[in-house]
């Protein structure tokens, strides 16, 4: 993967590769030298083959360089959301047993304790102001490095996705998964020589880390880099850019900027949305304000990108409300619960097969087997249909999952934490519509006999334990949860009851 990206660097290595929102400029030569130095540092640690490098740091160009250096050195990158707190990190580090952990200096105390307990030998720090022990150590290493060869089937990254029941699963992605997907997207999205990407997404998930970074680098394209999404700043820099990628919340927030108009978007070639459903209202309003039709695509940590609306009009129209066609080389089909084919246009479970599909869940062969059909198709857990023209539409999910601002929240996980609080008998977390985040979690809780519960206090308790985006936006204490005749909590009734909460 790294060799392919490196081969795409432009001939003029002194031209700008990344310009940050704070005015720093990194040349292609900087990218080459810095990844060499970090790769040399990692190699000097004499880690076993296949070692995981777990990273929980704020977004910075150096954090991206660490990712690229990990590929370059032939190790396995394990990105972690900066919102994760100690119990979450303890699980990921305990499960993945990384050889190296990189964290912020602010978190070094508690993260290193967790890492050393899990047997990790090397803990480095990396801050978003180009300081920390990782860079200090790398500075002593050579800026030349032979890329360590990797086979298509070799692991390149492990991306944790929250588990529908119980614990998170680490999706094992190979160099072949990532490179084949990046090459397909380069052609399908029509990347051209002078493209400039605005990078405003976090870099600990597939969207910002793989789709955006690989897209720009594999095309030798400059990135305008935002450490944190800032709608005003992005609209201000838009006249210099040609490609933007975002989750729907980013589009909603940019639409609230008066400066967003056709003139701001005059050089833009392509706006891409994904990770969560894009409302048709957002799609239409964007077109009216900027003259551009957003291209919506569909992906998963386990499969990287699997479908996309067309870029080239000769391949068809970009249809709002759909996620387009299966990407070239990727098979997508819809199956009934019993595994049988469904007629064209009918709803069923979306399944996928292709070079983009991951190798399995880390240390969970059983789970891996469960998620694949006997004939080798991966069950996405999304529910949808494919029309006679081939457009895929996602209509829902069979997995109990809330997607909030592009982040996944698994109700089972949050309910587990709520149920452990004193006085709680049981709980249900449901997703309700939200104008900014698309969907947010709302908790409904019952008390143990004699216990007095307060919804706000429950929310406050959870804030100390869980990543912020998983925290329910509201919590209601009720007498009992509605159940069907089988005794199962009827989440659809709860969702219905609270759907106007943020309207
Ligand atoms: C922040 N908050 C949230 C979220 N983000 N609440 C619900 N959902 C969220 N996503 C809450 C915080 O807890 C806090 O609450 C308050 O909002 C402000 O926090 P702050 O950090 O300032 O928020 P922000 O910086 O404005 O972040 C919003 C965001 C961010 C920019 C939309 O969530 C984001 O970057 N989302 C993108 C996620 C993404 O990249 N997903 C791709 C996954 P309080 O004040 O109460 O503490 S990859 C994927 O899904 C697949 C593969 C695919 O297809 O791409
Ligand atoms: P993750 O586990 O973060 O990889 O999230 C993957 C999930 O995000 C998919 O299974 C879908 O449910 C959802 N998703 C991604 N892209 C879209 C989209 N364009 N529209 C609706 N849902 C999407």
> Is residue 32 over pLDDT 80?
yes
Q: How many CA atoms, within 13 angstroms, populate the side-chain half-sphere of residue 271? A: 24
> Is residue 166 over pLDDT 70?
no
Looking at residue 482, which CATH number applies to its domain? Answer: 3.30.300.30
Is residue 360, in this structure, part of any structural domain at all?
A: yes
Cα–chain center distance at 73: 23
Domain tally, the chain: 3
Is residue 15, in this structure, part of any structural domain at all?
A: no
Looking at residue 40, which CATH number applies to its domain? Answer: 3.40.50.980
> Is residue 163 over pLDDT 80?
no
Beta strands per DSSP E along 220-329: 222-225, 243-246, 270-273, 295-300, 304-308, 325-326
Strand partners for 198: 224, 244
Is residue 93, in this structure, part of any structural domain at all?
A: yes
The residue out of 378, 398, 418 marking a domain boundary is: 398
Q: How far apart are the two ends of the chain, measured CA to CA in Å?
A: 45
Statement to judge: residues 141 and 283 lie in one domain: no
SS3 track for 136-196: HHHCCCCCCCCCCCCCCCCEEEEEEECCCCCCCEEEEEEHHHHHHHHHHHHHHCCCCCCCE
Is residue 411, in this structure, part of any structural domain at all?
A: yes
Strands 16-20 and 304-308: unpaired
pLDDT digits (tens, 9 = 90+) for 475-488: 999 999 999 999 99
Looking at residue 209, which CATH number applies to its domain? Answer: 3.40.50.12780
Please spell the DSSP secondary structure of 196-207, one letter per residue: EEEE-S-SSSHI
Is residue 11, in this structure, part of any structural domain at all?
A: no
Cβ atoms of 404 and 438 within 8 Å: the answer is yes
What's the domain range around 373?
184-398
> Is residue 351 over pLDDT 60?
yes
Statement to judge: residues 253 and 302 lie in one domain: yes
Statement to judge: residues 197 and 323 lie in one domain: yes
Statement to judge: residues 299 and 323 lie in one domain: yes
Statement to judge: residues 226 and 370 lie in one domain: yes
Question: Which residue lies with its CA nearest to atom 45 of ligand 1?
Answer: 468
Structure-token pair, residue 354: 């292709």
**In which band, very low, low, confident or very high, does the pLDDT at 5 lie, cut at 50, 70 and 90?**
very high
Is residue 471, in this structure, part of any structural domain at all?
A: yes
Statement to judge: residues 315 and 208 lie in one domain: yes
Statement to judge: residues 215 and 313 lie in one domain: yes
Is residue 89, in this structure, part of any structural domain at all?
A: yes
The burial class, CB within 10 Å (0-12 / 13-18 / 19+), for 178 is: buried
Statement to judge: residues 70 and 212 lie in one domain: no
Statement to judge: residues 47 and 190 lie in one domain: no
Is residue 221, in this structure, part of any structural domain at all?
A: yes
Question: Which residue lies with its CA nearest to atom 12 of ligand 2?
Answer: 382
User: What is the chain's alpha carbon radius of gyration, rounded to the nearest angstrom?
Assistant: 23
Statement to judge: residues 281 and 298 lie in one domain: yes
C-alpha pair distances (Å), 243 with each of 23, 181, 246, 500? 20, 18, 10, 35
> Which of 203, 233, 350, 407 has most ligand 1 atoms within 8 Å of CB, for mutation?
407
The residue out of 365, 398, 431 marking a domain boundary is: 398
Strands 304-308 and 270-273: unpaired
Statement to judge: residues 392 and 418 lie in one domain: no
Task: Report how far ligand 2's centroid is from the alpha carbon of 191 (Å).
Answer: 23
CB neighbour burial string for 1-29, b if at least 16 within 10 angstroms, e if fewer: bbebbbebbeeeeeeebbbbbeeeebbbe
Question: Which residue lies with its CA nearest to atom 38 of ligand 1?
Answer: 406
What is the model's pLDDT at position 468?
Answer: 97
Q: Going edge to edge, which strands form the sheet with 474-478? A: 424-434, 438-447, 474-478
Confirm or reject: Cβ of 405 under 6 Å from ligand 1.
Answer: yes
* Rounded Cα distance, 277 and 254, in Å: 17
Task: Report how far ligand 1's centroid is from the alpha carbon of 248 (Å).
Answer: 11
pLDDT digits (tens, 9 = 90+) for 257-295: 999 999 999 999 999 999 999 999 999 999 999 999 999
**Least confident segment among 223-227, 356-360, 485-489:** 485-489
Four-CA torsion 304, 309, 310, 313, nearest 10 degrees: -170
Statement to judge: residues 394 and 477 lie in one domain: no
> Is residue 165 over pLDDT 90?
no
CA of 405, closest atom in ligand 1: 10
């Amino acid at each position: 993967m790294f060799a392919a990206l490196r081969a795409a660097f432009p001939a003029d290595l002194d031209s700008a590769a990344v310009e940050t929102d704070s005015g720093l400029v990194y040349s292609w030569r900087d990218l080459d030298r810095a990844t060499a130095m970090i790769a040399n540092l990692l190699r000097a640690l004499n880690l076993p083959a296949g070692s995981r490098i777990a990273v929980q740091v704020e977004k910075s160009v150096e954090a991206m360089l660490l990712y690229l250096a990990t590929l370059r050195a032939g190790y396995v990158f394990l990105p972690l959301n900066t919102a994760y707190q100690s119990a979450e990190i303890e699980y990921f580090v305990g499960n993945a047993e990384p050889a190296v952990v990189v964290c912020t200096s602010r978190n070094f105390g508690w993260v290193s304790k967790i890492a050393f307990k899990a047997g990790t030998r090397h803990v480095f720090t990396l801050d978003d102001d180009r300081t920390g022990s990782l860079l200090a150590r790398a500075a002593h290493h050579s800026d030349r490095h032979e890329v360590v060869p990797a086979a298509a089937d070799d692991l390149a990254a492990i991306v944790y996705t929250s588990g529908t029941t119980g614990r998170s699963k680490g999706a094992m992605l190979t160099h072949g998964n990532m490179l084949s997907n990046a090459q397909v997207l380069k052609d399908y999205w029509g990347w051209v020589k002078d493209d400039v990407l605005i990078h405003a997404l976090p870099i600990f998930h597939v969207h910002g880390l793989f789709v955006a970074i690989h897209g720009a680098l594999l095309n030798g394209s400059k990135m305008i880099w935002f450490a944190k999404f800032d709608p005003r700043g992005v609209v201000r820099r838009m006249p210099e850019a040609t490609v933007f990628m975002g989750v729907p919340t980013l589009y909603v927030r940019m639409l609230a900027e008066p400066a967003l108009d056709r003139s701001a978007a005059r050089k833009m070639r392509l706006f891409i949305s994904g990770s969560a459903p894009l409302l048709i209202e957002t799609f239409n309003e964007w077109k009216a304000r900027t003259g551009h039709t957003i291209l919506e695509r569909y992906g998963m940590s386990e499969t990287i990108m699997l479908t996309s609306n067309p870029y080239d009009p000769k391949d068809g129209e970009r249809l709002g409300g759909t996620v387009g066609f299966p990407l070239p080389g990727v098979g997508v089909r819809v199956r009934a619960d019993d595994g049988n084919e469904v007629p064209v246009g009918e709803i069923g479970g979306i399944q996928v097969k292709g070079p983009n599909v991951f190798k399995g869940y880390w240390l969970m062969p059983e789970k891996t087997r469960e998620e694949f059909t006997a004939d080798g198709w991966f069950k996405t857990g999304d529910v949808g249909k494919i029309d006679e023209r081939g457009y895929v539409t996602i209509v829902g999910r069979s997995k109990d999952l809330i997607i909030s601002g592009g982040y996944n929240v698994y109700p089972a996980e949050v309910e587990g934490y709520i149920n452990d609080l004193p006085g709680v008998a049981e709980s249900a977390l449901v997703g309700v519509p939200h104008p900014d985040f698309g969907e947010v979690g709302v908790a409904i809780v019952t008390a143990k006999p004699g216990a007095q519960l307060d919804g706000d206090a429950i929310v406050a308790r959870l804030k100390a334990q869980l990543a912020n985006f998983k925290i329910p936006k509201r919590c209601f204490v009720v007498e009992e949860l509605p159940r069907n005749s089988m005794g199962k909590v009827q989440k659809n009734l709860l969702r219905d009851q609270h759907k106007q909460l943020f309207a």
